[in-house]
Amino acid sequence: MASITQLGYLGLSVSDTAQWEQFAATVLGLQPNGREPDGSLFLRMDEYHHRFILHPTGKNDLAYIGWEVATEGAMNEVADQIRQAGFAVTPGTSEEADARRVAGLVKFADPSGIQSEVFYGPLVMYDQPFQSPRRISGFKTGPLGLGHFVAWMDDFERTLHFYRDVLGMRVSDFVRFSPAPGIKMNVAFLHCNPRHHTMAFAAMPRAPKRLHHFMLQLESLDDVGATYDLCQAHEVPIVMKLGKHTNDHMLSFYLRTPSGFNVEYGWGAREVDDSTWQVQVHTAGSIWGHQGNL
């Protein structure tokens, strides 16, 4: 069975790309890397041409997910698996591949209707090294991919089946808790490489936004601390204070983006060795800290 290798990029629909460009550069430390004629903004965080594309289409939510595979053959195998599971797959045009700066891609929608792409051959710019606008040591990406995202899905079991049994991701663990009296939440965490989780989801069919947050992992704890101070000094909304998660052991805090969803900014997550990893269940999201309300 072919499987995806990493989260390659995220497409975001935003209402104000200029505000986002300033936020991404001066707060997150991402590098703006040009615009398309329609105003779409590219953001870098490593040797890839981009890890985010911000489209000025105003929804302030997730627009699409870009899943990377190693080769054209692997892309075609994953496409066949998606078709066999009963989902329509459309080959990307050469113009669409050029717009994404990849060698090739196919397009589909997941069980919740989220637009998604499987691609191979990203544009890599070793000749023009990543330069953060801020004095940070950089982001932990490489074979681990962009980071992770957490989304609200329509149906828990259908989503788990699709990402695990069709795209080939593996379950890391589950967090089951009660955010309020009478409400039970089950969050599934899945990985496709040693990063503890590349995606997580819970069922909330009528959520106002699909995207809850995306995560950026820093190479240095000092980068997280300096950004925490920066957010407080410049009144960037911090929605959850510093804390350490139960499952991936990430030390992080959460801040609000100009689009209303959140960013987890963290360091030090443990990684998964599939030869020894055992799925676990947790009933709390954090070992300590993370006070606030997401």
Q: How far is residue 275's CA from residue 222's CA, in Å, rounded to a whole number?
A: 32
Mark whether 202 and 241 lie in a shared domain: yes
Q: Do residues 199 and 7 make contact, with C-beta atoms less than 8 angstroms apart?
A: yes
How many structural domains is the chain composed of?
A: 2
Of the residues 70, 94, 122, the one at which a domain ends? 122
Between CA 193 and CA 275, with CA 249 as vertex, the angle to 5 degrees is 40
Based on the domain organization, do 188 and 240 belong to the same domain?
yes
Residue 10 covered by a domain: yes
Alpha carbon distance 35, 122 (integer Å): 17
Alpha helices in the chain (DSSP H): 17-23, 72-84, 94-100, 156-161, 221-233
Say what the pLDDT of residue 233 is. 96
- Judge whether 135 lies within some domain: no
Domain presence at residue 130: no
* 133 within a domain of the structure (yes/no): no
Q: Distance (Å, rounded) from C-alpha 6 to C-alpha 9?
A: 9
Is 14 contained in some domain? yes
CA dist 177 and 97 (Å) reads 41
List, in order, residues 6 or more apart from 156 with CB less than 8 Å away.
186, 188, 201, 202, 203
For residue 26, the model assigns a pLDDT of 98
**Sequential pLDDT tens for the chain (294 residues):** 889 999 999 999 999 999 999 999 999 999 999 999 999 999 999 999 999 999 999 999 999 999 999 999 999 999 999 999 999 999 999 999 999 999 999 999 999 999 999 999 999 999 999 999 999 999 999 999 999 999 999 999 999 999 999 999 999 999 998 877 888 899 999 999 999 999 999 999 889 999 999 999 999 999 999 999 999 999 999 999 999 999 999 999 999 999 999 999 999 999 999 999 999 999 999 999 999 987
- The helix/strand/coil state of 88 is coil
Residues 107 and 162 in one domain: no
Judge residue 144's burial from the number of C-beta atoms within 10 Å of its C-beta, 0-12 exposed, 13-18 middle, 19 or more buried: buried
Assessment of whether the complete model's pTM goes beyond 0.95? yes
Identity (one letter) of the amino acid at 72? E
Does residue 134 lie within any of the structural domains?
A: no
User: Could you identify the residue written with the tokens 């699909």?
Assistant: 210
Q: Are strands 6-13 and 52-55 parallel, antiparallel or unpaired?
A: parallel
Say yes or no: 206 and 76 in one domain. Answer: no
Q: Are residues 182 and 86 in the same domain?
A: no
Token pair of 204 as six digits = 């909330």
Q: What is the pLDDT of residue 294?
A: 76
CA distance 106 to 102: 11
Among residues 121, 11, 125, 111, which one has the least CA distance to residue 74?
121
Same domain for 284 and 202: yes
pLDDT of residue 180: 76
Supply the range of the domain harboring residue 110.
Answer: 6-122
Q: Within this chain, do residues 23 and 110 fall inside the same structural domain, yes or no?
A: yes
Same domain for 218 and 91, yes or no, is no
In a domain, 128, yes or no: no
Q: Are residues 107 and 184 in the same domain?
A: no
Task: Based on the fold, state whether residues 187 and 96 are members of the same structural domain.
Answer: no
Query: Are residues 268 and 173 both part of a single domain?
Result: yes
Q: What is the CATH number of the domain that holds 27?
A: 3.10.180.10
DSSP codes of every residue in 152-195: EES-HHHHHHIIIIIS--EEEEEEEEEEETTEEEEEEEEESSSB
What is the rounded CA–CA span in Å between residue 169 and residue 115? 18
In a domain, 190, yes or no: yes
> In angstroms, how far is CA 174 from the centroid of its own chain?
18
Helices (H) and strands (E) in the chain, counts: 5, 18
Q: Look at residues 91, 122, 153 and tell me which one is the last residue of a structural domain.
A: 122
pLDDT at position 89? 98
